[in-house]
Structures are given as C-alpha cells and as structure tokens.
Structure 1
Amino acid sequence: LVAVSGNIGIAGGGANYANLQVGQSFDFEELTLPNRKQTSRKFSMMKQAEEVLRAVDPVIQMIIVTCGNPLTQVPNTNVVAKAFSSVKTLVVIDQYMTDTAALADYVLPTTTAFEEEDFYYSSMYHHYVNYGPKLVDAPGEAQPDLWIWTQLANRLGFGEAFDYTRTQFLEMTLTSLAPAGITLERLMAEHTVELPVESIPWHDRRFKTPSGKYEFTSSLAQDKGDDGLLKFTYPLESKWANPALAEKYPYNLLTIHPMRSNHSQHYHLFAKEPQVKVEVAENIAEQLSLENGDIVRVWNDRGEVTGTISILAKAHPNTINIDEGIWAKFGGSVNNLTANAESDNGLGSVLYDCLVNIEKVS
C-alpha cells in the first residue's frame, strides 16, 4: 500500500523494514575473520533440531549455546529436546539456569551487560550506537563470553587470532566508522553517537531486486521457476487447507510476545512467579463453559501446555493467545505446540500457523 501510494523513500512515509544499515556500519569482518572459515553447515532456526538429528559426515557431537535458550525459543520443543539430548556434549554459556542450561553437560557462567564494557545498538528502531561501561564486578567465577572463547581458542591451537584486549576489539569494530569521526574515545566521552546512515529508507528508490525497482510481481521468484504473482494462500493448519486437522483441533493459536519480558529472558526475575495465561475468545469460553481462573490443557499432535484461563473480550472468534518464552518450571513453553516448518520462501517461521484444542482440567 505504501508503494502504491508513493510513500516509500519520503520523510514521514512510514515505510521501513528493520534497519539493516545500522549493523552494517560496524567492521564485523575484522572480528569474525570469515576468510579463515574452511567448511561449515548452516541450519535455519526452524529446522535446526531436525538437522542436528539427521546430520551425517560428520555427525554432530557437540552443541555450544550462547545468547539463547533454544529449548524455550525454538518451535516444536519436544523435537528440540530430543536433538539437544542426542549429542555427546552440550555446553551452555549463560547467567541463569534456563531450560537449555538445565539439559547441558556443562554450564559456563558468563557476565551480564552490567559486568562488562561493550557497545549497544538496535538493528530495528533507531540508528544510534551506545557505549556501556562496566559498572560492577561479576560474581563468583563468571567470565565474559570473549574470555571463554579466547580460552577455547588457546586450547585449540589458534589463540593468536584472539590475542587482543577488549579495548582493541572495540576499536576494531569501529574501524569503518573512523572516517566519520566515530572513535572509542568519542563514544566513551559522549556515550551515545548517531551513526552515519541514511535517515530515510530507500530515499533513492533503488531496491535490491533484479530490476532495481519495487516489484509487485517478483522477478526473483520468476528466476526460481514461479510466476512471481501475488497469491492468496491459506495457512497449512486451517479449516480450508486441512479440514480433517481442523476437526480435531478447531482453534487458532497465537504465540504473542509477553508484555514484561524480551522473549524468555526475564521470567525468573518476576516478584510473583509467572504462570501460563491462556487467553481465549468469548465464543470458546461459551462453547466449553470456561470461566476466568479455570485450569485448562491446550494440546495438539506436537505437545501440550497447562495454564489458567483469561477470557479476552476483543479476541477474534476461535482464537487462543499464549505468551511465548515461559520456562518449563513455570508451566512450559508455548513452543510445545508450534510447528518447526519453514515459511514458503524458506526464510521465516510458521509460528502463527498452528491449530490446537483445549479442555478444562480439574
């Protein structure tokens, strides 16, 4: 609609998709040394568990998890648990005993954002970089991720690639920004600096398509053998695409972002222990004689969760909402129910393509 109305590439047009140029401002190649990589395998987040289970030549024998909690965050939790339990060694680097950490053979305690010096930026909402100084010492034997990886590199025989101080690594990150006057010294003094990126997305109205234009019919899709036309498609799990499944599981599940947490990160900090809240549309409550506070089981062929009913007056009929991110010890992840299929272009998830059933339990 914004393209049809001419609102792309103008101030106030309201058209944006992420803000990838922000992350592209930093010199990550200086840090990651991609030229050193010889062979690799890449799995999508949605299919990682299946790929781990069927990987050969070589078989996956170790998984190291950092900056994540896959047993709560990756779709189809039961398959994820099977995959992460199948490897000989599971290592988790974290500050807390998450669902994934509880499954691990080794848990390496790491520092929080308050216990180490670093840069912070958003790849979505703004184009500023922030400097965060170390504020307090880490408790016990907790160490920064950088220290952990450096120690591992030393033991594997290529420690020279990590033989830099944290200050030197931070300076490397800013190499590409030095011509714009953005240095570590300036960031330390000012704490927040605006990055030299285009403030209006697609201001030149040049797009990363084969034609360079905004395409209502996709030439990229045509190159892949499709006609490239816009299509109306039904969810795979719906009464239109799979009436037999919808007969068994008649309700649509939405796995919404929680109000008081960023994914699964903060539930353990709540003053009151969190519970799984199952928000249902009024018509579901009427059909099944459910009342606020009732304990219910929500299930499908992939798994189940148990929670407390909250009747949501404005919910679309036949819709159930459950926050994503809740740990197993607080009632279980809603990803026990979600599918780990990939979207039609292979780049996204189908988390909202999910049918379930629900019943009251005593």
Structure 2
Amino acid sequence: MAKIVVDGVDFSVAEGTLLLKALEAAGHAVPHLCHDDRLKPHGGCRLCLVEVAGDRRPVASCNTVVCDGMVVQTQTPLLQTLRATNLSLLAARYPADALTAEPQHPFHQLLAGCPTDSPAVRRAVGFHDESHPYIGTSLDRCIQCERCVRICDEVQGQFVWASWQRGEQTHIAPNHGSTLLEAGCVACGACVDTCPTGALFDKRSQTAVENWTRSTCVYCGVGCQMEVGTANGQVVQIKPAASPVNRGHLCVKGRYAYEFGTADDRISEPMLRRDGTWQPVSWDEAFDFIASRLAAIRQQYGADAIGVLGSARATNEENYLAQKFARVVLGTNNIDCCARVCHTPSAKALKLMLGTGAATNAFDDIEHTQLLMLSGCNPTENHPVVGARIKQAVRRGAKLIVIDPRRTELAAMADLHLAVRPGHNVELYNAMAATVVEEGLLDADFIANRVDGLAEFSQFVRDYAPEAVAASCGVPAGLIRSAARLYAGAKPAMCFHGLGLTEHVQGTEGVMAQINLALLTGNLGKRGAGINPLRGQNNVQGSAQMGCDPATLTGAQSFVEAGAHFKSLWGASLPASHGLDLLSMLDAARAGRFKALWAVGYDIYPTLAHVAETAQALAALELVIVQDLFLTETAKAFGTVFLPAASVFERDGTFMNSDRRVQRVRQAIKPPGNAQPDWWIIQTLAQRMGHQTGFDFDGPEAIWNEVRQLWPAGAGLSYARLEHESLNWPCPDEAHPGTPVLHIDRFASGPRATLACLPFTPSPEQPSQDYPFVLVTGRTLYHFNAGTLSYRTPNARLRPSDTLDMSPQDARRLLLNDGEPVRIRSRYGEAVLPLRISPTIKPGELFATFHRPDLWVNRLTSSYRDNRVNSPEYKRTAVTVEPVFGGGN
C-alpha cells in the first residue's frame, strides 16, 4: 500500500493506483472530461490538474500513478483558475441550448456552475449522419476529447472515428466513407456511451429513464452484464455494466436489439388450436387440456412417448424445473435442449478426456496468453465482446492462429490462417500433433507427470504427417508445420473453438483432437491456456448443466454417481429407461413411437437440419406444446397448445455463460397480459398433474437453492454472493473464491489424462458433378438463430436478409452478379437467397447465414450427425447454385 496526503488528510491506497481514482476513493474527486476507465490515460482536457509536492507544474491526475509519500492538493486558487479557464475555452463556441435541453451529460454538469452566454459563433459541424438506425450525431457539441476515437480503437478495435486537421479546424469524423456504416461501424455504441456531451447519442433513448436494473444479456454465451433502463413499464435504453466478462462494453445486439418484448406479434395469452384456428384461453383451461392429454398419452403409449425440450433462453432455474418435470412428473429421461445441436460435442469431448465438460479457462485469460488459436469460430461476429478482446490482445503482441475455411476478420489479422476444408478438422489436428511429436516439440515434463498413451499415440499419428494429409485437408504441409511450431512454442497458448469444429460427423472427435494438442504441449491447467468452447446462446451452457440432457442429471452428474442423492431429495424414483435426445425423439416420432413434445423457448422446425425430416416428425405427433414469446414456425405449423412466456426483462433467475460464470438475471418490467415466467408455467402444470410436493417453490431463488443442494460444484453460488461477485464454478462452498482455471494440479477425471487416437472418417456428404459446392452455414453479427428476437428490432435494417456468400472466381464462372437472387439446391431441398460476392470465400465453397425463418436455409442441410452425440452436421452440405429468373421462389 502507498500512503498519500490529499488536502492535508492521510490516505492509504494500492500501489500503482491512478491518482484520479485514488482521489475519487478518498472523497476528493476532481473534474475530468477526457478520462474513461476503459481507456488508456490521456491527459488531454487538463481539468483534472492537481498540485503534487515536488513537481514544478500541476499534473493531470488521470495519467499520474500514485507513489508512496505523495502529497497532493486539489483545490488551490491556481487550480481553480486553470480549470475555469479550460472550461471557458471549451464552452466558448458551445451551443448553450444543449445545456438546458440535456443537463445530464458530464460536460453540462460541469458547466452548470459556470454560466455561459449563447456563443456568437457556433462550432462548425464537419460531419452529420442521419442514416444510422441507432447512433445520432450532433457534432456542434464536440469538445475534441477524442474519447469516441480512443474507445473505438482501444476497446472495440474498429477504428471508425478519427481526428482530422489541426488547431481551430480540428474535428471528429469517420476514418473513411461518408457514413458511419461505410466507415465500418458495427453499432456497438461504445462511442455514444463514452461521449461526455451528447455529440454522439442513441437515437431511441430520448425517453427519460425511471429505473435502472442490472441484468445479463439474452443473446450469445459471453454473458455480458448490462444496465436495463425502463420507463412507463417498457425498456427504453440499455447500457453496458462493468464486469469481468465485458468490462463495460456491449455489442449491437446486447445494447440495441431489445425491442422484441413490445413487438406487435407478441403473444400474451395462452392459446389452443381448435379446428385449425388458434383461440385464446385461460391458464386453467390450457393447463387442464395439457394435463389431460399428457396423462392420456402416457397411459396409452408409456412415459417414453413424451419428451421435453429446455431452453437456452430460459434461466438455470427454469431449465432445472423442466428436467425435473420430465423425470418426476412424466417419468421419462426424454429431456434435451439446443446444446444437442451445437456444443454437446464439446461437452462430451472435454468430459471424456479431462473429466469436466466445460471451458477450462476464463475469458480474463485472453489478456494473459501468448497465443490464441481459434478453430471454427468467428468471435468478432458471433461473440463480439470476446472478439474485441481478442483483437486488442493481438494488437498488444499475442500471436494468432485461425483455423477456418473463410478469411474472417480475425483470420485477416492472424499470424497464420489455416483455411481447412469443411469437415477435415480431425485430419488437420492429427497432422499438427504429428508435427509436435516428430519435431520433439512436446512438453516432456507435463507429459511425464500428467499424460498417458504417448507411445501408442506417436505410432498412430505417423500416418498423419502434414505431407500425407495436406491435399485432403486443403492446408499446405508447410503451413501445418508452422502452426504446430507456433502453438507448441507459445507458453501459454489458449484455444477457442466454435460450431465450425463441432457441427460435423466428427464434431466430438474434432474437439478431442484439439485436446490432444493441448496435452502434448502442456497447455492445460494454467492461466492463459486451455480448451474453451464459445457457447452460442446466452444459457446453452446452463440448460445442459441443469440436466436438460437425457444421459446426465443436474451438474452434468451421472445417474450412477448422483442418482441416489436425487432420489432422496426429490422423494421420487428416477426413470429406469435410457432417455432420447432431441434427434432421437424425432426419429422415434417418424417411426410412430413418440407422441408428444413440449418445446420451451426453442423453435426446432426451421432450425434443425433437414427441414423435411423435421416436418415429418412433428406432423406425426399427437401433442405439440410450444412455450415462447411469439407464435414460432413450430407453433404455426404444428402447435397444439401455445403458452406465453415472460422475456428476459420480465423475470428473475440466473444464466451460465461460456466461461462457467453463474450470473443474475433481474426482472426490470412486468410481463404483458397473462404471460408468465417459464418456472411458474412448469411448476403450475406439475401441480395440476398431482405433484404439489417438489413443485412448490416461492420463486427462482428457492429453486436455485435446491440446485445447490444437488450440484456440489455449485453449492457456494448463493444469490447473496451473486449479487456482488462474478464467480466461475466449481465453487463448492460460500467461502470458496471460484475456479477460473480448471485442472491445475490434476484433471477432474483423475491425476492423468490419456491421449486419444482418432482416425479421420470423411463425412458421407460429398460434392459431386451435380452438387459441386460445399456449403457452410452460420451466424452473422446483427442477428441471432432464427431471428426470433433480433428481426423484431431495427437490426433488421442493418442486415435485412440472409445471404449466400460466394468467391468472385465462382461468381464470374457462373455469370452471377452481386445482390441477385440465386437458387441453392442440395440433395435434401432448396432455398433462394441474395448472392453476396466475397473474397473471404474460397472457390468451391459457400457460406450462408440462417436467421430468417421464411428463407428456410435448413431445407438444404442433411440428416448426417455426429457419430458420438447425434449433433447435426450443419457445416458441410453439397449444393449447386443457379440464377433465379424472375427474382423469387
């Protein structure tokens, strides 16, 4: 600790603290305009000047670090004069009407005690943009603090803003282009958030906020913390909150795509389909109907003819109740969630090889690693806040390897880009491992102490030497060897992967092959290392972890290890039969053995691969219960009952993010009409079906406390702690600090892990003369999954449609033009999308987004699945492309 004296009073502060922050902590805050805690110290506005004994001139406290013995004065006559002078210079040509119109801005608050006349000459406005759907400009208010420039550079890494010219001609404008979007703006809103004057503003945030509520974002699995501003019972503004996850930053979806809750087609009453028409009913009538039909189906066909799907958009507490309902009320292990189609391969691989089916390291390790290897993921679009942190880490000197068929934004920044052929990940990783073994790049100490199977593995990977597999996987042998050397030589090296690794017939084995590399090089059990799946949805980690999986109980515990405990606490026997996963449920429905499905917050019809097979299965069901905010495509085509759920802003509970943090979700507004939280709906139906005991919770916290009794690794995560702490599980008791890094001294499965010999098996889905292209599907920055939320917001203006991306070479050969509609045909169906010619795509390969359900991209994808966990192969489909004459379907 450093001892300092401030205005004659002694204080103790941590060594290395910024003086500005020390003064605030001591209750002697000084004014400032150019400083933002998220940015590097700047010292530009000169308002935070203080006098420090021993210095000849006043110093800017925002870029001065505390040292022991420092004596500081903050309110001398000289300082007051300097601040007044600097403020008057900033206000000299400032629009006085702005002060009265919007007094809340920091600059306006500083000027409140310094009245200014309306300026004779107002600032010239060098840039004005009305075209952006979210960000407005009033640059006559700009005071050249450059916070917008710096935050775009230092946090988002987009470099949209720049300071132009010098002296009195200095002005802020985009780096290039005539609009913000032309300049590369990704609408994160960071520039608006930091602006102290309102020169940049949120166009839709003109309503004064009545209340702010801290909560967690509902989009991707990063788990960004945010402040939800409400007025008149509606969400009117969202701001980023400071947390270890997002560090005061948000992406375009988290910050701006919040209006779905008030969309015109929001459903707020229960409904039954009668004679082909949806009719509103009371909750009692809906529950009586469901209870009667479920009982009848169970009586006629058995409990295993019924299944329940949990939701990545529901809370942990609600997913826990969903699987408890399936197992206790219905008597079946037929419970699953959307993790099945994305990261169940990750969980399976990590559990098999290391003992815990979750990320090994926290996001904070991005700032502590020497190298990042990204496989089949595009974080700047799909996990934008993590993507921004990765960009900044690379700018600071971290090495970057990107393994992806496309030349993504991060691939363009990478030291090495390995443009692997879709579906050949196992082959490529085996080749990297062969290089590590052959060239002696192993971490001998780590292997000796913690790894088994090296001799057998070394013999196995000889057949995968880079020179032997380069032609097959599409990556030159020299590049494979360079990547292996770079990864093995970096200590520590951190891996992130996404659905480009998991959504293949060898998805699980792709992750296992990556784990092999980490074991060979000792990149596990230490900060800045590890194997880390980037979870796609906000609570997909939590929904599976809570037991929405047919093979595991809450906490990803096996029936053998935890079944007796669950039986005792629940006071009920567990189902004896093996449960069906989602895809197996649909297979059984087509075969006539499965009769009823309850889908909570999951629109499976447009989102599962091979739409035609999904439709056949859903049409064969006798009862389809859909629980959601909107009448989804599943509900429209096949629903029997619709139950209106509360949105993320209308309920309490917790989410679990990608790096194993459990974080609070807090109700900010009331649900519309008769919509209810998922937990209330599940519990009330259980009671209606005769299960009062075990479904009598008074709220989410009580449910969570039961979860903590059953899940030893989460026992210490009480609501009281979650109010003010951000903790990674395992956290076994309330004195435990949480576990940011797994497997430090031993693996969860034991002291040693075993290398896996994984032969490469090509996908049955192969291109041919009739279907010469390989199509990969994925997400884009502005939308999310089936567009259920994001397409009901102005994000639809930023990305109006899904597109088919094609290389310029292929477009020229086929005489296709950018923007024209094209028909894509596969062996399974067809879809029509606008063409986007892109140099990021290799000849012979294509990429399509899948967010608009009316475009039905999943009509194209096949029914091939991961050979261990049944996840669909979305990332490899053979297709052909042709122009659409007439411009439509």
With normalisation by structure 2, the TM-score equals 0.35
1:259-303 CA distance string (max 9 Å, x none): 223322434324236323111122320221011111111111211
Matches within 5 A, 1:9-20: 9-16=525-532
The answer for the alignment partner of 2:844 in structure 1 is 318
The answer for the alignment partner of 1:221 in structure 2 is none
The answer for the alignment partner of 2:808 in structure 1 is 282
The answer for the alignment partner of 1:7 in structure 2 is 523
Paired residue type of 1:135: A
Q: 2:645 aligns with which of 86, 93, 110?
A: 110
Paired residue type of 1:79: E
Paired residue type of 2:574: K
The answer for the alignment partner of 1:183 in structure 2 is 718
Matches within 5 A, 1:289-300: 289-300=815-826
Paired residue type of 1:351: Y
The answer for the alignment partner of 2:586 in structure 1 is 49
Larger radius of gyration: 2
Give the Cα separation in 2 of the matches to 1:27 and 1:91: 24
Paired residue type of 2:771: Y
Give the Cα separation in 1 of the matches to 2:852 and 2:670: 29
> Are the equivalent residues in 2 in contact too, given 1:267–1:326 (CA < 8 A)?
no
> Are the equivalent residues in 2 in contact too, given 1:46–1:75 (CA < 8 A)?
no
> Are the equivalent residues in 1 in contact too, given 2:824–2:830 (CA < 8 A)?
yes
Alpha-carbon shift at residue 66 of structure 1 (Å): 0.6
1:81-109 CA distance string (max 9 Å, x none): 12112212211000012211212122111
> Are the equivalent residues in 2 in contact too, given 1:276–1:306 (CA < 8 A)?
no
Q: 1:235 aligns with which of 751, 763, 769?
A: 763
The answer for the alignment partner of 2:830 in structure 1 is 304
1:262 aligns with 2:784: yes
Q: 1:47 to 1:320 in 2, by over 3 A?
A: farther
Q: 2:595 aligns with which of 39, 54, 61?
A: 61
1:7-39 CA distance string (max 9 Å, x none): 222222343457989948996687994953335
1:340 match: secondary structure: coil
Give the Cα separation in 2 of the matches to 1:179 and 1:68: 26
The answer for the alignment partner of 1:206 in structure 2 is 747
1:160 match: secondary structure: coil
Higher helix share: 2
Q: 2:673 aligns with which of 140, 163, 171?
A: 140
Paired residue type of 1:109: P
Q: 1:46 to 1:321 in 2, by over 3 A?
A: farther
Paired residue type of 2:740: S
Q: 1:277 to 1:132 in 2, by over 3 A?
A: same
Paired residue type of 2:816: L
Paired residue type of 1:159: Q
Paired residue type of 1:238: Q
1:185-230 CA distance string (max 9 Å, x none): 3334x26445434332332353749x9423143xxxxxxxxxxxx3
Paired residue type of 2:622: K
Q: Which sits farther off after the overlay, 39-48 or 88-97? A: 39-48
1:50 match: secondary structure: helix
Give the Cα separation in 2 of the matches to 1:183 and 1:350: 39
Give the Cα separation in 2 of the matches to 1:258 and 1:40: 40
> Are the equivalent residues in 2 in contact too, given 1:119–1:132 (CA < 8 A)?
yes
Q: 1:95 to 1:13 in 2, by over 3 A?
A: same
1:220-255 CA distance string (max 9 Å, x none): xxxxxxxxxx3233232224xxxxxx1111100101
Larger RCO (alpha carbons 8 Å, 6+ apart): 1
Q: 2:691 aligns with which of 152, 155, 158?
A: 158
The answer for the alignment partner of 2:407 in structure 1 is none
> Are the equivalent residues in 2 in contact too, given 1:256–1:324 (CA < 8 A)?
yes
Give the Cα separation in 1 of the matches to 2:708 and 2:694: 18
Q: Cα RMSD (Å) of the superposition?
A: 3.2
Q: 1:41 to 1:339 in 2, by over 3 A?
A: farther
The answer for the alignment partner of 1:222 in structure 2 is none
Q: 2:864 aligns with which of 315, 326, 341?
A: 341
Give the Cα separation in 1 of the matches to 2:789 and 2:687: 34
Q: Which sits farther off after the overlay, 317-326 or 246-255? A: 317-326
> Are the equivalent residues in 1 in contact too, given 2:827–2:878 (CA < 8 A)?
no
The answer for the alignment partner of 1:36 in structure 2 is 573
Unaligned 5+ segments in structure 1 are 218-229, 240-245
Alpha-carbon shift at residue 177 of structure 1 (Å): 6.9
Give the Cα separation in 1 of the matches to 2:676 and 2:719: 23
Unaligned 5+ segments in structure 2 are 1-516, 536-540, 548-552, 556-564, 732-737
> Are the equivalent residues in 2 in contact too, given 1:47–1:341 (CA < 8 A)?
no
Q: Which sits farther off after the overlay, 141-150 or 264-273? A: 264-273
